[in-house]
Homo-oligomer: A and B are copies of this chain.
């Protein structure tokens, strides 16, 4: 259970007193505010604040493109046009702030998205809780044999049990020793900034993360993708579900052009044109490497 009764009471208190505002307001997002969406065994994401809505994107675009855009297109068409042509600045006019609880090894991938603002729980100042990510058995998989980084077959039986046992016992021993090192029971107690080094990468941390919608879409494209590691993908998907309710037109355009789209190289365009003209093209005469050709076939058969 990711939230304590105190935290739940705090959430309900925060939701109890709506105030009047003149700002752009998204009813779909108001319903999410402060509420925790559980992710993995002890994690969550929750929306803490947001700025803007679909109309704010349109408004910023109309400032840029002036009177010319006023009558020709409805909001949906304009948003699709912006997405199609990589006009990213109007999407930057929306902003979201999330509170996220996540394992450290997920946080390490996440933080590589640099264009965002972060306040993370500091283990120099404070003591971390005894909470570790232990994968569900169906997510314990072997190294992929076709992909240098992904997962393949799911582990079963004795191997699965043995892995879970190691993860659990090592996490607990590491935490026991963390506590023992910090302990001032007749001792000085090791500084927090040092004791934390004993903790494994599946311990949970938390942070506030604030990002604009353009950069969030970039994050979602990479991290909600099926090639992303499962443990970050579920966070991306939980966020995506909130974004859909926040800016439905922008999210629909994102789904069509980014999540559901592909990028073709000049070589791939040439092959498709030859195929459309009835020609049968193989890897050797495609000009592509074997790897490129395999990826091409995954989409086009």
Contact = CB atoms under 8 A, between A and B. Distances in A.
A51 interface: yes
A163 B144 contact: no
Contact of A65 (B112, B118, B135, B148): B148
A173 B17 CA distance: 51
A67 B190 contact: no
A23 B272 CA distance: 43
Interface string A241-267: 000000000000001110111111111
A9 interface: no
A281 to B, nearest CB: 12
Interface residues of A, number: 133
Contacts of A264: 261-264
A140 interface: yes
A35 to B, nearest CB: 10
Interface in A266-287: 266-269, 272-273, 275-276
A119 B15 CA distance: 33
A275 B273 CA distance: 11
B265 A263 contact: no
Nearest to A273: B300
Given A63-B208, A66-B125, A177-B170, A198 B200 contact: yes
A97 interface: yes
B257 A210 contact: no
A63 B121 CA distance: 5
A86 B221 CA distance: 11
Contacts of A17: 22
Given A19-B20, A20-B20, A49 B51 contact: yes
A261 B261 contact: no
Given A114-B115, A272-B272, 8 more contacts: A64-B119, A64-B125, A104-B201, A149-B192, A150-B191, A199-B201, A200-B201, A260-B266
